[in-house]
Chain A
Amino acid sequence: MVFLVAAKEIKEIVRSGQFKWMLGIVVLLSMVATYISHVHWQEKNRQRIEAANQARELWLAQGSTNPHNAAHYGTFAFKPQFPLALIDPGVEKYTGVSIFLEAHSRNEADHVAAADQTGLSRFGDLTPDFVLLFIVPLMIIALGHQSVTKEKEQGTLKIIKTQGISNRQLIAGKWLGNYLPVAMLTTCLFVVAALFIGEFDWKFLATLWLVYLAYFAIVNSITLVVSSLTNSSGISLVTLLAIWICSCLAVPKIASSYTNEKHPYPTRQEFEAAIAEDKKKGLDGHDPWSEASKKLERETLEAYQVNKLEDLPFNFDAFRMQKGEEHEAEIYFKHNERLKEVHKEQTTVYQKLAVLSPFLPTRFMSMSLAHTDYSTHWHFADEAEKHRIKMQEILNTNFAENSRLGEWGYKADASLLSEIPEFHFEALDFNEVMSANSSNLGILTAWLLASFGLLIFASTRI
């Protein structure tokens, strides 16, 4: 019985002119979105690989040089482009893609794409996630808002009921009939995107696909609930659109404004000034006259039981440089941890607000699975910092071990440069991503169950 209803719904949908139009628009938009995203993705990928190779070449081309000069010359860490960014570019546009790794300072990721675009970019981009998150739910609403109300308006509901079908079966059939075409379309979109992407981890893509299917199932249930509870198609449509606008546009913006008001970030200028202030208090590798340097001197002489710095088995200048580096790294760590605290608090607020709209958990999971969320960016920044600290250590150690005090003209062999490994960034693996998203997953599931519950309730009211 359920399948009969579903088959009838599908037949009706397929035959309606409205569906053909909408299907045409959605397919066109998704094709254009996928194609353009693919072109941009490839171009950006090429640029990054090229830049990374060139940066390495420039690094190695320094040849025989003073290790500390090399540390100042520095190099770059590039964030790789992840394959699924093609489906959901997430916050990529607003985070930088490269971090300059140099002595004495931890730099922020730079080159935010949004700053290189016009103000219109804030309206959003035509990417597959835009179609999936905003347009497809609209399509579900447009197709399903009248699925029950029409039967009521035309008086066919009573006739159907005389056929011996229960309300629940009828609603289940309607639900399936409305859902299957959308599910098929989504699946096709994912298959096409997968063909474009080529190389990817299927676990991520499959989960992403399931997340969107769950999101659409929620939207579909809500649509049918409203259609069952209202008496006219017009009211049903207006109510559903109001729900759509609230959940997809208003709630995310309210969440963002609210979160920022509750847990604001410091300004860049404040952040940098605080770091500079802390740095001033501690050991500066370049300043042998400071209080902290003198202290280090005394301690080192005592530890090695010698009277003069010249008698130490290593170059004290370089040793001090390394100690200064470690001290600075601690300061950067402390301040970034504080920033991360704020980020975590903000994330918690977002996750709490996700209860208000199924859009939010879907949005967050989608970005997370595509490795284009803010956490991945933090992960990248932390890895780059680890790499920078390691790099300084190798360089300073070489300097300390192979030169004498005051020997600033010392040049290390060119092979030292290749001892510094190339920067490689590995994003979190599947299990880690899923456990980081357990709250989002829970809320999405709760939404799914609640919407089904509502549907069962609504089926008793037709």
Chain B
Amino acid sequence: MVNLNIRHELKLLSRNFWFVSLSLVLVLLCLYAGHNGLKHYERRTADQQEALAAQQAKEQLIKEVALTLSKGEEHPNAYRLSPMNLAISTGRLGTMPATQMSKLAIGQSDLYTHQLKIALNEDLATLSFNELNNPVQLLFGNFDLAFVLTYLVPLIIIAFTYNLRTRELESGRLKLLASNPIKINLWLLQRFIIRYFFLLLILTAILLATVLIARTGFSMQLLVFFLLTYAYLAFWFAISYLANLLGRSSARNAVSMLSLWILLVLVVPTVINQAANTVYPMPSRVKLLNEIRQTKKELSKEQNKVLDEYLRNHPELISNKGENAYGYWQGYFASQELTEKRLAPLIERFDAQLAKQQRWVNAWGILSPAVMFHDGATRLAGTSSAHYEQFKDYVRSFSLNWRAHFMPFVFKNEMLGLQELDNLPEFQFRSRSRTAGVFMNISVLLVFSALTVIWGLALEGKRQLI
């Protein structure tokens, strides 16, 4: 029976003009999306290389100055080795390199910056990670592979499965089929599974072509990405299977499947997002600005006390050069640390609220397979919100290291030498795209699919299905 079914389906599909032409459209869409992803990746990488090259040139210059000085000679730019100049003007460049997989899902990578200068005097509370961008582009989003798979592929599935049973019903062949010794639900399931694997093969070929065009290397992440795509396809096939069993006519099936698509892909994600913002509203950033200024002002009034308190906390920085050892910058850093300490609870409120929103989104996201898929895809691509949160955290903690490294020089008014230049903290951030979390998404999608199919099978004999 299965063999017969397979042969029948293959014949049907290969002779179906619509199926062949839509598959071709899908090829074009995927290739174009892959091209966009590749361009995005190339630009991001080129920008970063340029920034890194500029930074290296700066650092090289400093090294040359240090080299000259170390030979006992003079150099007109000797001031560049002062701790303040080095830590602020030269600074460090924090970078977030693009992963190969980011070609498949652009995700949040158009919103945030991937290279950022870290300087000693930077306020961590107001450090901006936003990229310069046309907001219209952010509003519309990108035409990447994740979009094609999330939004468009389900529609193709709907187009090829919405009438698998009802068509037989409408043409009267279902009764003929029912007279054979086979369970109708099982027969239909076979047809769905055959079509599923057929589409899966085609899509795998298309995806492989896209991956080759986008020159994404093969990796564990890519494999999981394929699995995630298969699970997402399975969900839509399963839902369509159920709709076929419950629906009375092809037209109705089409309408209900499309309504479901609109609901799951379009409406549910926006509702979950809106709900997250409403249940856990962000505190006011604009208010924070004034709170920061207020705190700074209060601290500046008691400048002497601030410096005393700071030195009490950092006895290693105390200089033995007497009363007037400390100037403007020493006071500045003392109050910077105290400001940050005082503001920490306010800043944490934002992080905590965002974490709550993320938890809410993760919990309710299972209501929409589109969210599950998109979330998994961006996580594999290293372009999810979580990756940017990691980057932000890394930058902040690096900034603190950077500061801590320079404080002894600042307080002792010492210049840096050749040797010290080699011991500066290095910025090394690599996005970790863990596949473990994505397996959760895959399982959710598969469990939903399995439950739907079981439900469908259990309907056998319980309803007037013919």
B262 at the binding interface (Cβ < 8 Å) = yes
A377 at the binding interface (Cβ < 8 Å) = yes
Neighbour of B132 across the interface among A100, A253, A265, A377, CB < 8 A: A265
Complex CA–CA separation, A266 to B54 (angstroms): 15
Contact bitstring A63-81, B, C-beta under 8 A = 1, else 0: 0000000000000101000
B250 at the binding interface (Cβ < 8 Å) = yes
Which residues of B have CB within 8 Å of A93?
139
B contact patch SS: helix
Segment from B192-200, B206-214, B271-279 that makes contact with A: B271-279
Contact bitstring B246-284, A, C-beta under 8 A = 1, else 0: 000011001100100010001101111110111001101
Residues 89-137 of B contacting A (Cβ, < 8 Å): 93, 107-108, 110-117, 126, 128-137
Which residues of A have CB within 8 Å of B272?
120
A43 at the binding interface (Cβ < 8 Å) = yes
A245 at the binding interface (Cβ < 8 Å) = yes
Which residues of A have CB within 8 Å of B374?
119, 123
Which residues of B have CB within 8 Å of A266?
132
Neighbour of B138 across the interface among A114, A118, A264, A269, CB < 8 A: A114
A261 at the binding interface (Cβ < 8 Å) = yes
B449 at the binding interface (Cβ < 8 Å) = no
A41 at the binding interface (Cβ < 8 Å) = no
Complex CA–CA separation, A316 to B273 (angstroms): 57
A1 at the binding interface (Cβ < 8 Å) = no
CB-CB nearest in chain A for B117: A269
A241 at the binding interface (Cβ < 8 Å) = yes
Query: Are A253 and B286 CB-contacts (below 8 A) given A124-B270, A269-B113?
Result: no
Interface size class of B (residues with CB under 8 A): 35 or more
A91 at the binding interface (Cβ < 8 Å) = yes
CB-CB nearest in chain B for A52: B286
> A133 CB to closest chain B CB, in angstroms?
11
> B389 CB to closest chain A CB, in angstroms?
10
B293 touches A58 (CB 8 A): yes
Residues 128-164 of B contacting A (Cβ, < 8 Å): 128-144, 147, 151-152, 155, 159, 163
A234 touches B250 (CB 8 A): yes
Contact bitstring A129-146, B, C-beta under 8 A = 1, else 0: 010001100100010000
B317 at the binding interface (Cβ < 8 Å) = no
Complex CA–CA separation, A116 to B347 (angstroms): 12
Could you list 28 A-B pairs, sorted by A, with CB under 8 Å? A39-B278, A40-B278, A51-B290, A90-B139, A94-B133, A108-B128, A108-B132, A110-B126, A111-B286, A112-B130, A119-B375, A120-B365, A123-B374, A124-B266, A126-B267, A233-B251, A234-B250, A242-B155, A253-B147, A255-B140, A256-B137, A256-B141, A257-B40, A265-B132, A267-B47, A267-B114, A273-B54, A343-B134
**Supplied contacts A122-B108, A250-B143, A267-B132, 6 more A-B pairs, CB within 8 Å:** A18-B255, A95-B135, A110-B285, A118-B385, A120-B272, A250-B152
- A contacts, CB < 8 Å to B: 18, 29, 36, 39-40, 43, 47-48, 50-51, 54-55, 58, 76, 78, 90-91, 93-98, 100, 108, 110-126, 130, 134-135, 138, 142, 233-234, 237-238, 241-242, 245, 249-250, 252-257, 259-261, 264-273, 339, 343, 346, 350, 373-374, 377
